[in-house]
């Protein structure tokens, strides 16, 4: 009986080993073999009948869906346990032998680099035998075991681990098994070669002059069509080689070998230079320290109907996920991760808190940029100059390796230098659809964000329009993000001061993030999340309103006083009085604005005052009243593009679409660019849902006639 049991063990082990070798050749998931010796400790009542024993298991593990977290397992165990129950002298050294084939499922996770944690549950059947000469010395029954393990990867294939399992042998006993084991992993395509199996070694095909560039994980998408290095291949033989293919592969960080180049033939004595391209996977973002990996290089070809090839293994350095060089300032855009859950939580919550809390007709992008700045200040974010990798130094040494933080890292650390804070601020704004840019000056980097306004519109909406940057017919507001302790307005002032100081001499760079993304795509770096604790909503709203009021008081009151002095000297000047009304209206002081416009209209139907009174009525949803004012202005100035636009808008709100078409068509003839901004008014086609959405977005954007 015992011999048959042991033969069963040997057969099971051989079958399992054969299955492993088959699995490594397949295309389905990763297979691993585990040899797990350990000691067992009987539990409960069984502790009085048995003593500490020992044993080992041979286990195979296969990922169900390829390289996933869910696995199936099958194996066989053997254990020996001394008995303490038998008191007869001849049996005082009795032993129990167990053979236990089993199968089940496991969940595997990698919380840290090179560490794997797993839990498992198995069911099976055991065969028991007592080392005593009695008639009933064998038996069998079902078993279950559950447990957990921790493994550390020693190499790409070998791991060392500890395991703890609870085992219940029905009708016999139960115990805890503590084990220390070794594992060997098989992965598709990693059996030591990437040559096709039928390739014949061809030593006359030489691979030489291999050179690698610096490889940074954050650009792993970039390397698919930008080389990480070069090599030369040379045909030193006498036959022409055909169908030549050059491939590279890095285990763990590439899913499959990447074909870098193919060409029809390579004549004897001919040498070719090859650019190496690598399609890395997202696992490279798990690299937290610079590391060296082995790259397998192979060249395959045919000659006289036979397949030939040669291969070489070279060492490649992969920098850590936060590493970068500043040889191209656009590279920092890859860290602007707008879809990060932590970034989205911060951005969307702050935006919802401050929506419609300003009380004036301010530009929405301006208010959002202000809100995020003040929220970061309240959150406790601080500027800390990095003594080891300051931008001022590394931007001069363009090939020096710098360290940049992802936005979620900056939010967790609540600190960063100028590049880290610029990346974070840009990510928050871009996550809600606001275009941003990096502004670079000698030794420094900060942010500007788009107001989505043409220069002409900015001049009408901002009294301090000279404090904006104008690029590609768009107005941008610069923010010195390192000045979080000073407030948004001061950061704006310093940002435009730096631009005006350096731009005329050509020392200021302007890098639109969305243009930079075309070259350096943002990555989806999702690290272990932390608990983002935003400041209380009322604190954010209070700080937001205080900065808006500060802006209003700083810019509005001096201009009001200046205009009032001019009006006192020329009380019949409608233009000055209208400018005062527009000034009040642009800051949301609508009662004062209406007072100024009415003074003019009491004297005459002055077109700018009629338009602006219509705007006030439109803002208050008094569309019929607004329409009357606009029509009076149209009677006096039928070609005024602001009048045409406002008549199209108000008739749209009133559902009079034939008149919308009349006025909008006339506007397109007068100013096609302005008409294009209000494309929702074009009723001849397009998505009605998108048109309604644009109408809501543009409804409160009023053009005040000065």
- What is the domain-level CATH number for residue 591? 1.25.40.10
Report whether 35 contacts 182 (CB < 8 A).
Answer: yes
Question: What DSSP character marks residue 440?
Answer: E
Q: What is the pLDDT of residue 24?
A: 35
pTM to 2 decimal places: 0.64
**pLDDT (tens digit per residue) in 421-478:** 999 999 999 999 999 999 999 989 999 999 999 999 898 778 778 999 999 999 999 9
Q: Is the predicted pLDDT of residue 704 greater than 90, yes or no? A: no
CATH number at residue 73: 2.40.160.20
Give strand pairing partners of 146: 121, 166
Confidence of residue 4 (pLDDT cuts 50, 70, 90): very low
Max Cα-Cα span within the chain: 128
User: Do 150 and 240 reside in the same domain of the chain?
Assistant: no
User: Do 517 and 621 reside in the same domain of the chain?
Assistant: no
Q: What is the mean pLDDT of residues 56-84?
A: 84
Q: What is the pLDDT of residue 696?
A: 52
Q: Which of 51, 46, 41 is nearest to 94 (CA)?
A: 51
194: in domain: no
Length of the chain: 706
195: in domain: no
Give the contacts of 609 (CB within 8 A, at least 6 positions apart). Answer: 574, 578, 581, 597, 600, 601
For the chain, what is the domain count? 4
CB crowding 580-591: b at 16 or more within 10 Å, else e? bbbbbbbbbbbe
Which conformational region is residue 506 in: left (phi greater than 0), alpha (psi within -120 to 50 degrees), or beta?
left
Give the contacts of 99 (CB within 8 A, at least 6 positions apart). Answer: 5, 6, 8, 9, 76, 77, 78, 126, 127
User: Do 516 and 558 reside in the same domain of the chain?
Assistant: no
| N-to-C CA span, the chain | 106
**pLDDT (tens digit per residue) in 559-593:** 899 999 999 999 999 999 999 999 888 787 889 99
The vertex-553 CA angle with 547 and 556, nearest 5°, equals: 125
Q: What is the pLDDT of residue 607?
A: 95
193: in domain: no
Q: Say whether 533 sits in a helix, a strand or coil.
A: coil
User: Do 59 and 118 reside in the same domain of the chain?
Assistant: yes
Examine the fold and report which residue of 294, 318, 342 is the final residue of a domain before the chain moves on.
318
User: Do 546 and 531 reside in the same domain of the chain?
Assistant: no
Give the contacts of 192 (CB within 8 A, at least 6 positions apart). Answer: none
* Residues of the domain holding 613: 541-699
User: Residue 178: how many CB atoms within 10 A of its CB?
Assistant: 14
466: in domain: yes
Strands in 200-343 per DSSP E: 200-201, 205-212, 229-235, 241-250, 258-266, 271-276, 291-303, 306-318, 323-325
Give the contacts of 364 (CB within 8 A, at least 6 positions apart). Answer: none
User: Do 301 and 432 reside in the same domain of the chain?
Assistant: no
Alpha-carbon gap, residue 414 to 394, rounded angstroms: 23
User: Do 572 and 439 reside in the same domain of the chain?
Assistant: no
Examine the fold and report which residue of 186, 217, 241 is the final residue of a domain before the chain moves on.
186
- Supply φ then ψ for residue 704, to 5 degrees: -90, 135
Confidence of residue 189 (pLDDT cuts 50, 70, 90): very low
335: in domain: yes
Q: Is the predicted pLDDT of residue 360 greater than 70, yes or no? A: no
**pLDDT (tens digit per residue) in 539-563:** 999 999 999 989 888 878 888 999 9
Q: CA–CA distance from 205 to each of 199, 201, 250, 264, 295 (Å)?
A: 13, 9, 22, 15, 18
User: Do 23 and 79 reside in the same domain of the chain?
Assistant: yes
Give strand pairing partners of 317: 292
- For the CA atoms of 334, 338, 343, 345, the dihedral, rounded to the nearest 10 degrees, stands at -170
Q: Say whether 208 sits in a helix, a strand or coil.
A: strand
704: in domain: no
Q: CA–CA distance from 656 to each of 624, 665, 682, 691 (Å)?
A: 12, 15, 13, 16
User: Do 395 and 450 reside in the same domain of the chain?
Assistant: yes
Report whether 435 contacts 514 (CB < 8 A).
Answer: yes
**pLDDT (tens digit per residue) in 122-136:** 999 999 988 877 667
Examine the fold and report which residue of 134, 157, 186 is the final residue of a domain before the chain moves on.
186
334: in domain: yes
61: in domain: yes
User: Do 295 and 332 reside in the same domain of the chain?
Assistant: no
109 alpha-carbon distance from chain centroid? 21
CATH number at residue 253: 2.60.40.10
DSSP H/E element including 110: strand 95-112
User: Do 394 and 518 reside in the same domain of the chain?
Assistant: yes
User: Do 410 and 464 reside in the same domain of the chain?
Assistant: yes
Q: CA–CA distance from 629 to each of 395, 590, 617, 634 (Å)?
A: 57, 17, 9, 9
């Amino acid at each position: 009986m015992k011999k048959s049991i042991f033969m069963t063990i040997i057969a099971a082990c051989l079958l399992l080993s054969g299955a492993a070798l088959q699995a490594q050749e397949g295309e389905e998931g990763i297979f691993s073999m585990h040899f797990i010796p350990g000691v067992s400790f009987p539990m409960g009542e069984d502790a009085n009948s048995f003593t500490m024993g020992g044993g080992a298991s041979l286990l195979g593990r296969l990922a169900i869906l390829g390289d996933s977290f869910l696995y199936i397992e099958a194996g066989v165990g053997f254990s020996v346990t001394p008995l303490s129950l038998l008191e007869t002298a001849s049996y005082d050294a009795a032993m129990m032998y167990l053979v236990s084939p089993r199968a089940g499922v496991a969940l595997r996770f990698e919380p840290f680099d090179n560490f794997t944690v797993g839990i498992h549950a198995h069911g099976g059947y055991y065969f028991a035998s007592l080392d005593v000469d009695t008639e009933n010395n064998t038996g069998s029954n079902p078993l279950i075991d559950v447990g957990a393990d921790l493994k550390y990867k020693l190499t790409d294939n070998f791991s060392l681990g500890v395991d703890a399992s609870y085992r219940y042998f029905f009708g016999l006993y139960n115990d805890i098994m503590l084990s220390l084991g070794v594992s060997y992993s098989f992965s598709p395509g990693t059996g030591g070669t990437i040559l096709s199996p039928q390739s014949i070694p061809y030593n006359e095909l030489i691979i030489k002059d291999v050179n690698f560039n610096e490889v940074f994980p954050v650009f792993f998408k970039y390397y698919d069509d930008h080389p990480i290095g070069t090599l030369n291949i040379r045909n030193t033989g006498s036959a022409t080689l055909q169908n030549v293919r050059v491939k590279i592969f890095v285990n763990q960080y590439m899913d499959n070998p990447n074909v870098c180049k193919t060409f029809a033939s390579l004549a004897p004595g001919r040498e070719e230079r090859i650019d190496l391209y690598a399609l890395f996977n997202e696992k490279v973002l798990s690299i937290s320290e610079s590391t060296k990996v082995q790259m397998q290089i192979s060249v395959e070809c045919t000659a006289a109907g036979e397949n030939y090839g040669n291969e070489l293994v070279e060492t490649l350095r992969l920098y850590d996920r936060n590493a970068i060089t500043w040889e191209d300032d656009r590279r920092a855009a890859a860290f602007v991760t707008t879809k990060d859950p932590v970034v989205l939580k911060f951005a969307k919550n702050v935006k919802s808190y401050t929506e419609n809390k300003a009380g004036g007709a301010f530009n929405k992008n301006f208010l959002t940029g202000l809100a995020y700045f003040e929220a970061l200040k309240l959150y406790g974010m601080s500027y800390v100059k990095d003594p080891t990798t300051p931008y001022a130094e590394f931007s001069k040494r363009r090939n020096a390796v710098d360290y940049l933080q992802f936005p979620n890292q900056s939010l967790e650390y609540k600190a960063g230098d100028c590049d880290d804070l610029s990346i974070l601020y840009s990510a928050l704004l871009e996550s809600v659809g606001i275009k941003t840019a990096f502004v670079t000056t000698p030794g420094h980097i900060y942010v500007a964000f788009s107001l989505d306004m043409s220069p002409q519109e900015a001049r009408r909406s901002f009294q301090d329009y000279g404090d904006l940057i104008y690029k590609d017919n768009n107005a941008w507001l610069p923010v010195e993000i390192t000045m979080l302790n000073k407030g948004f307005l001061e950061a704006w002032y310093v940002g435009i001061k730096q631009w005006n100081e350096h731009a005329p001499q050509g020392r200021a760079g302007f890098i639109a993030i969305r243009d930079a993304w075309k070259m350096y795509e943002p990555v989806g770096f999702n690290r272990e999340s932390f608990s983002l604790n935003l400041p209380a909503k009322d604190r954010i709203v209070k700080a937001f309103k205080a900065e808006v009021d500060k802006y209003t008081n700083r810019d509005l009151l001096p201009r009001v006083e200046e205009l009032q002095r001019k009006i006192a000297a020329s009380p019949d000047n409608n233009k000055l009085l209208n400018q005062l009304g527009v000034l009040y209206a642009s800051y949301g002081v609508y009662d004062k604005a209406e007072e100024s416009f009415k003074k003019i209209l009491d004297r005459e139907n002055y077109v700018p005052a009629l338009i602006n009174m219509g705007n006030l009525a439109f803002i208050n949803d008094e569309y019929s009243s607004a329409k009357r004012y606009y029509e009076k202005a149209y009677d006096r100035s039928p070609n005024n593009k602001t009048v045409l636009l406002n008549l199209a808008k108000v008739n749209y709100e009133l559902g009079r679409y034939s008149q919308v078409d009349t006025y909008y068509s006339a506007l397109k003839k007068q100013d096609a660019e302005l008409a294009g901004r209000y494309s929702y008014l074009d009723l001849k086609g397009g998505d009605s849902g998108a048109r309604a959405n644009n109408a809501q977005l543009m409804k409160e954007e009023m053009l005040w006639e000065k």
